[in-house]
């Protein structure tokens, strides 16, 4: 039988203790490494989430909107509250599709927007003045943490494509008549009257009459958005009703359109009094369908 010498026994104990301490130190190091790696998980998951998730745009319209017809064609204006869910979004276009109950469809897209910045109240008169920011419809940033409220002006796409050629022909004809008559005193009023009786002017007014879209009945309303990157729009449908009285009132703006063009042609002519331009607008109630 062989017994371990005292020195050998102490060596064995020291060796075992060293192995244990080394193992513990290795375990602590591994835990520290895991903890350090785990600390990176939240930002990595956050980055991956924002790489693959698509924002959802939410549009909430006001109950009343403004309907009209001007030298800009059919007009559809209303206040919109907009926000984004899941992550922020940038949109570069908002459009509205109006479908009449007889199936006729008309598309409108945004052309401008107004935002109320603040209100100032006079301490003496108690009158309130609203400070507004008017901007073209280029793009809109939507946040998940706030609500953006804008008054957005929509115009019809067909009118915006069909009227400019008629306007260009009228402008060219006005230039031609002015050059033909020459720069003679008192000739401006004659030039303007001749243009107002021209074929080009009547063709322009014909475009206005043909582009008058409004008619009595029920309209379905659908919003759509376009963005540089993929977004989804929270679906919601709306509708409104137009009476014949609404249509007839807005149609009277045809006379105002003619007066507006005459005022432009005769602006600055001595003795000419501009005709009044009193536009008729209708405030229509918008209902949620779904």
Q: Which domain holds residue 40?
A: 6-47
Per-residue pLDDT at 83 exceeds 90: yes
Chain centre to alpha carbon of residue 142: 11
Contact 110, 95 (CB under 8 A): yes
- Say what the pLDDT of residue 205 is: 94
Examine residue 1 and state whether it is found in any structural domain, yes or no: no
- Say what the pLDDT of residue 48 is: 53
- Model pLDDT for residues 211-230, shown as the tens digit of each residue: 999 999 999 999 999 999 89
Contact 127, 252 (CB under 8 A): no
- Model pLDDT for residues 120-169, shown as the tens digit of each residue: 776 666 677 677 788 889 999 999 999 999 999 999 999 988 888 988 99
- Say what the pLDDT of residue 134 is: 85
247/282 same-domain check? yes
Per-residue pLDDT at 102 exceeds 50: yes
Give the C-alpha distances (Å, rounded to integers) separating 87 from 42, 50, 59, 83, 235. 16, 7, 15, 10, 17
Examine residue 179 and state whether it is found in any structural domain, yes or no: no
43/100 same-domain check? no
> Can you read off the two tokens belonging to residue 224?
């759509």
Number of structural domains (the chain) is 2
86 by DSSP, 3-state: which? coil
Burial environment of residue 22 by CB neighbours within 10 A (0 to 12, 13 to 18, 19 or more)? exposed
């Amino acid at each position: 039988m062989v017994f371990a010498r005292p020195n050998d026994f102490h060596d064995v104990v020291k060796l075992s203790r060293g192995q244990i301490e080394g193992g513990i130190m290795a375990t602590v190091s591994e835990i520290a490494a895991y903890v350090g790696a785990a600390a990176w998980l939240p930002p990595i998951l956050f980055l991956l989430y924002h790489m693959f998730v698509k924002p959802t745009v939410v549009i909430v319209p006001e109950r009343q909107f403004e309907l009209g017809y001007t030298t800009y064609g059919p007009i559809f204006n209303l206040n919109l509250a907009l926000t984004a869910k899941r992550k922020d979004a940038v949109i570069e276009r908002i459009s509205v599709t109006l479908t009449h109950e007889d199936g006729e469809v008309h598309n409108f897209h945004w052309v401008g927007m107004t935002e109320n910045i603040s209100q100032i109240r006079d301490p003496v008169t108690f009158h309130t003045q609203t400070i507004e920011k008017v901007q073209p419809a280029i793009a809109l940033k939507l946040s998940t943490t706030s609500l953006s409220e804008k008054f957005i002006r929509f115009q019809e796409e067909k009118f915006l494509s069909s009227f400019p050629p008629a306007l260009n022909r009228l402008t060219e004809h006005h230039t031609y008549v002015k050059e033909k008559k020459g720069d003679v005193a008192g000739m401006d009023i004659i030039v303007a009257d001749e243009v107002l009786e021209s074929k080009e002017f009547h063709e322009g007014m014909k475009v206005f009459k043909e582009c008058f879209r409004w008619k009595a009945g029920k309209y379905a309303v659908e919003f759509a958005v376009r963005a540089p990157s993929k977004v989804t729009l929270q679906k919601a449908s709306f509708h409104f009703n137009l009476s014949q009285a609404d249509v007839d009132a807005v149609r009277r703006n045809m006379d105002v359109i003619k007066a507006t063009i005459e005022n432009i042609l005769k602006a600055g002519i001595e003795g000419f009094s501009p005709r009044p331009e009193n536009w008729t607008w209708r405030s229509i109630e918008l209902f949620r369908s779904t």
